[in-house]
């Protein structure tokens, strides 16, 4: 989107709570779990074949892995049989050179086990590769839908939602969904299959030993169910404390000059120590309690392991079970608790992921900008470039700021918009560029109601130079060309000279190829303002919207900015948001706003003669040296 297709004039909002450094605390739960889950699955509807292959391969990988302990146990049994047979022969006085162990059969068993492990690894690799493509493709599709939606939502959405919250949905929530689809979805299948398969293999060896092993499950569930929520609670406090600590550190570093100038270093240190101590107290409790879960689980598993080993050994001695089966059973006992813990953790992860998906879908369900035609015939005999006819508007339906506003602007005229801070000066701009649609009446451009024009066509007639300069990360040349992509190099250099940009740019080491960093902080505020004026020169708009901001710059730069603005305004229709009333005395029309409403309209002389609100502003600004910035 070029400068002609301007963005909203509203200032950015701070990041919303809960999405700053440190991420979320407690697991966020969705409002409608199954509805959102099904909707997310439908985003993978064009990948059903791949998903089916992933599930089959994941199950196959687990089955091969589950089978190997029992098959490997057969080798142990063969060795045990050979040793026992040799011992019996020695006892009977039969001479022999070694134990009669069937190494050929053992070799066959080991080969089968190796092949099964290779097959398991191969199936796992293939399903991971396919699932990575599916998950990233799904999130790519979801992210593209999100970006398309953000292009079509009305400006009011940006005015009522913080930038931090929108970024969190577009980045953090998307990553959460991608990670879960890629890793946890298949883990859910493999953990379930592992649990069922391991249980089945244990039952095939000994139902009695299986019951002994199952005794530890309720105890494990108690550990997970009692301790985990307490850990989660402390993690929530930890994340909150971390967010506050980060905010304080960032604030102190950003304002270190002010802190030093007011001798507040010790106060800042004391505040930091308090926040740091709060973070330490919550962090060690969270880490300690979460850290004891695994040792307790291992302790319970080891107890079950000991009982299985003892009773299994007795069964081997009585010939009820082979030694290889007991070896396999002990391996299954160690594996048995893993899928339980994994499934317990997955439940929280999946809850958080579906909550993330729900937040993304909330944006996708937002109402889009509508193009309601005015059904008003175009005026062909008008000499007005812009006309506001009986305009009614309010940001809410129950509070109109304009009830019957009329304004005619001819080509080359200058319209000034004045008023105290917060008076609603941006309202006129929002209506001209159709960031908001009027509630009644008509706004015409060249006799055509702007509602009957595509927004892109309408905004191609405008360019903006705002008080809050916006330049993207890239070269100075590319930033200037942003105003009009088809501009020639000569046109860009000419615009730079007209805006007093060429002189300081050529003094930079890389000249026009200098890369502006984030927020363009590697050049001064005045230089940034001059670049935005040069960008407007390149755009060569029919109508210019100008927020004449010259605050926070030195006198020489201010002169350059004023001179560049005068050149830019020459022979051009303009709407100027005025902060210093002395600069707009010659405007063809002055719109005076207060508390969001238009209170007066007229020339400087007319308004001064009325001795109303504008006259009070003008007199107070000069007698009291008050600025409307």
Residue 598 backbone phi and psi in degrees, to 5: -80, 120
Q: What pLDDT is stored for residue 1 in this prediction? A: 36
Residue 576's contacts (CB-CB under 8 Å, 6 or more residues apart) are 414, 415, 416, 417, 546, 547, 548, 569, 583, 584, 587
Q: Are 406 and 428 in contact (CB under 8 A)?
A: no
Q: How many CB atoms lie within 10 A of CB 412?
A: 13
Q: For residue 386, is it within any domain?
A: no
Question: Does 394 reside within a domain?
Answer: no
Domain range enclosing 198: 29-205+344-369
- The runs of H, that is alpha helices, within 409-463 are 426-432, 455-459
Q: Are residues 131 and 231 in the same domain?
A: no
Q: Find out whether 80 and 324 touch, Cβ atoms under 8 Å.
A: yes
Contact indicator for 150, 363 with CB cutoff of 8 Å? yes
Do 283 and 236 touch, CB atoms closer than 8 A? no
**For the CA atoms of the chain, what is the radius of gyration?**
37
Q: Token pair for residue 202?
A: 């244990």
Q: Are residues 593 and 491 in the same domain?
A: yes
Residue 372 token pair: 């309601």
Looking at 301-345, which runs of residues are DSSP E strands? none
| DSSP-derived secondary structure letter, 183 | I
Which one-letter DSSP state was computed for residue 591? E
- Domain contains 187: yes
Which pLDDT belongs to residue 553? 59
- Token couple for 423: 């008076």
Q: What is the CATH number of the domain that holds 513?
A: 3.40.50.300
pLDDT at position 551, please?
53
CB 417 within 8 A of CB 425: yes
Verify that 197 and 261 share a domain, yes or no: no
Determine contact, residues 86/100, Cβ cutoff 8 Å. Answer: yes
Q: Is 567 exposed, middle or buried (0-12, 13-18, 19+ CB in 10 A)?
A: middle
3 state SS of 263: coil
Mark whether 294 and 419 lie in a shared domain. Answer: no
Calpha distance 392→440 (Å, rounded): 5
Inside any domain, residue 24: no
pLDDT along the chain (629 residues), means of 10: 37 36 48 84 84 88 86 80 73 68 83 91 90 87 89 83 80 86 81 86 86 79 72 72 79 81 86 88 81 76 81 82 83 78 74 84 86 81 87 81 85 88 78 87 90 88 81 88 87 89 88 81 82 87 78 66 80 84 84 83 90 87 54
Tokens for 214, please give them. 């199952």
- The verdict on residue 471 lying in a domain is yes
Same domain assignment for residues 190 and 216: no
Torsional sign, CA 372, 377, 382, 387: negative
Are residues 173 and 245 located together in one domain of the fold? Answer: no
Same domain, 302 and 354: no
Asked if 219 and 118 sit in the same domain, the reply is: no
Do 211 and 249 share a domain, yes or no?
A: yes
Rounded to whole angstroms, how far apart are CA atoms 537 and 569? 10
Quote the number of domains for the chain. Answer: 3
Residue 42 confidence (pLDDT): 85
Find out whether 328 and 7 touch, Cβ atoms under 8 Å: no
Query: Which of 253, 285, 320 finishes a domain?
Result: 320
Q: What is the CATH number of the domain that holds 150?
A: 1.20.1560.10
Phi, psi of 563 (to 5 degrees): -65, -45
Structure tokens at 173: 């929530």
Tokens 């953090």, located at residue: 172
Residues 229-268 pLDDT 10s: 777 677 767 767 877 787 788 788 878 878 888 888 888 8
- pTM score: 0.66
Angle, vertex CA 297, rays to CA 295 and CA 300, nearest 5: 110
């Amino acid at each position: 989107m070029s400068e002609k297709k301007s963005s909203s004039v509203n200032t950015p909002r701070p990041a919303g709570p809960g999405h700053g450094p440190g991420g979320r605390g407690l697991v966020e739960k969705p409002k409608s779990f199954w509805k959102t889950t099904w909707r997310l699955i439908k985003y993978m509807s064009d990948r059903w074949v791949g998903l089916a292959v992933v599930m089959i391969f994941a199950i196959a990988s687990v089955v091969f892995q589950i089978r190997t302990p029992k098959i490997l146990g057969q080798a142990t049994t063969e060795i045990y049989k050979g040793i026992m047979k040799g011992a019996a022969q020695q006892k009977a006085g039969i001479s022999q050179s070694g134990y009669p162990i069937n190494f050929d059969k053992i070799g066959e068993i080991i080969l089968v086990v190796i092949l099964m492990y290779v097959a398991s690894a191969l199936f796992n690799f293939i399903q991971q590769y396919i699932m990575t493509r599916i998950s990233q493709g799904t999130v790519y599709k979801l992210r593209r839908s999100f970006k398309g939606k953000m292009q079509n939502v009305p400006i009011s959405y940006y005015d009522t939602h913080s930038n931090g919250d929108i970024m969190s949905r577009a980045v953090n929530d998307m990553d959460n969904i991608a990670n879960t689809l890629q890793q946890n979805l298949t883990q859910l299948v493999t953990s379930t299959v592992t649990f069922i398969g391991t249980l089945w293999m244990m039952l095939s060896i000994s139902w009695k030993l299986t019951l002994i092993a199952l005794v530890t499950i309720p105890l494990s569930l108690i550990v997970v169910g009692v301790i985990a929520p307490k850990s989660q609670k402390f993690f929530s406090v930890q994340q909150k404390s971390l967010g506050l600590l980060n905010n304080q550190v960032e604030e102190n570093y950003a304002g270190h000059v002010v802190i030093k100038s007011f001798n507040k270093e010790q106060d800042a240190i004391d505040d930091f120590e308090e926040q740091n101590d709060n973070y330490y107290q919550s962090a060690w409790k969270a880490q300690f309690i979460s850290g004891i879960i695994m040792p307790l689980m291992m302790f319970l598993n080891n107890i079950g392991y000991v009982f299985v080993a003892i009773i299994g050994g007795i069964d081997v001695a009585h010939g009820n079970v082979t030694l290889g089966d007991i070896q396999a059973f002990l391996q299954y006992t160690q594996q048995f608790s893993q899928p339980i813990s994994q499934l317990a953790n997955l439940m929280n992860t999946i809850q958080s992921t579906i909550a993330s998906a729900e937040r993304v879908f909330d944006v996708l369900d937002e109402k889009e900008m509508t193009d309601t035609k005015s059904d008003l015939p175009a005026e062909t005999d008008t000499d007005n470039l812009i006309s506001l006819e009986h305009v009614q508007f309010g940001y809410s339906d129950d509070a109109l700021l304009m009830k019957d506003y009329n304004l005619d602007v001819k080509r080359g005229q200058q319209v000034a918009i004045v008023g105290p801070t917060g008076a609603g000066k941006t309202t006129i701009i929002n209506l001209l560029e159709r960031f908001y649609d009027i509630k009644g009446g008509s706004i015409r451009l060249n006799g055509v109601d702007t509602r009957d024009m595509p927004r892109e066509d309408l905004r191609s007639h405008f360019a903006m130079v705002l008080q809050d300069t916006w330049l993207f990360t890239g070269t100075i040349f590319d930033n200037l060309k942003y105003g009009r992509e088809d501009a020639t190099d000569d046109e860009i250099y000419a615009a730079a000279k007209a805006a007093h940009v060429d002189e300081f740019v050529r003094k930079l080491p890389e000249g026009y190829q200098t890369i502006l960093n984030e927020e363009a902080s590697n050049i001064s505020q005045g230089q940034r303002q001059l670049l935005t004026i040069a960008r407007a020169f390149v755009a060569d708009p029919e109508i210019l919207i100008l927020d004449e901001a010259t605050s926070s710059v030195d006198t020489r730069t201010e002169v350059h900015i004023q001179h560049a603005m005068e050149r830019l305004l020459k022979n051009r229709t303009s709407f100027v948001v005025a902060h210093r009333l002395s600069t707009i005395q010659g405007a063809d029309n002055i719109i005076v706003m207060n508390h969001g409403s238009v209170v007066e309209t007229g020339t400087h002389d007319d308004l001064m003669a009325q001795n109303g609100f504008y006259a009070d502003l003008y007199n107070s600004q000069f007698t009291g040296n008050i600025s409307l910035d």
